[in-house]
Amino acid sequence: MAKKENYKVLLPTDGSIPALAATKHAIELVKRMEGKLTILMVKESSPITPIERLAEDTVLMRTTRVDGVEYAKRLAEKEGVSYDLQIREGPVAAKIINAAEELNVDLIVMGSSNPKGLSGFFLGHVADAVIKSTPISVTVIKPNARDIAMIIESTRTLSPPKVELAVQKQPDMKKFRVGLVLFSVYTLWYIIYTVLGSFFKTTFKMEVLGMNFGIVGGMSLIFSAIVIAIFYNIYASKRDKLEVA
């Protein structure tokens, strides 16, 4: 690939293993092209529950203890690559596409965990959405075992202050399973309530203790979500303390 003046590369990162692999690739490319790197962090506008976050982190190989932006900045500084940082808020794929077009970049480099089965159906695939919707060239990095080993080694040697070296740590699958069960129970309860509300509208209009039955059911759903969240947070905190000990 020939050098191009003002060659611009956009690097979306979220601290996942695929994103860290993409970071290494993007910086090597920008250095070779004598171009400029733009690091992009997208904050999702709609908050999700801790259980949903844990499910995403596990499936997408997202290591929440690794600051992807800080990692990219430190590696770029080490390699002498010029960079800037963009922070956007909103739908991830849309914000990546918008940023790429606004900044007039030549290439988007991003990681892909390529979730399959139900995980892929529910979580979607950001890289696929970006490729289908942008006219800009996209390079997708899918790390293999060798790439992951190199990432772990690079985090050890780089040692940025805000990057905790937790890439090599396996996800707490017991904590994930407990969270998944709790989330599934709540989802099932919500579906049953919604279906009953659709087919038994007369019943839902009845009064219980002076209150509409449908309102009581809705309040029960909200209360159960709070109880589940509190229980899971207590359980997760105890698990984390055991790991530290």
The larger pLDDT score, comparing residue 4 to residue 22, is at 22
What DSSP assignment string belongs to the chain?
----TT-EEEEE--SBHHHHHHHHHHHHHHHHHT-EEEEEEEE-SS---HHHHHHHHHHTTB-TTS-HHHHHHHHHHHHT-EEEEEEEES-HHHHHHHHHHHHT-SEEEEE-----HHHHHHH--HHHHHHHH-SSEEEEE---HHHHHHHHHHHHHH--TT----TTSPP-HHHHHHHHHHHHHHHHHHHHHHHHHHH-HHHHTSEETTEEHHHHHHHHHHHHHHHHHHHHHHHHHHHHHHHH-
The larger pLDDT score, comparing residue 200 to residue 169, is at 200
Residue boundaries of the structural domains of the chain: 8-158, 173-244
Say if pTM beats, i.e. exceeds, 0.85. no
Extract the tokens encoding 31. 């250095």
Extract the tokens encoding 30. 């920008």
pLDDT for residue 242: 60
Q: Scan for tokens 């529910």, then name that residue.
A: 122
Q: pLDDT digit string (tens) for 141-173?
A: 887 777 777 777 776 666 544 444 444 444 556
Across the chain, what does the average pLDDT equal?
75
Contact 41, 68 (CB under 8 A): yes
pLDDT for residue 64: 45
pLDDT for residue 172: 58
pLDDT for residue 218: 73
Cβ-in-10-Å burial (0-12, 13-18, 19+) of 119 comes to middle
Q: Under CATH, what is the fold of the domain 8-158?
A: Rossmann fold (3.40.50)
pLDDT for residue 122: 35
Q: pLDDT digit string (tens) for 80-136?
A: 999 999 999 888 889 999 999 999 999 999 887 554 443 333 334 788 889 889 999
Contact 114, 125 (CB under 8 A): yes
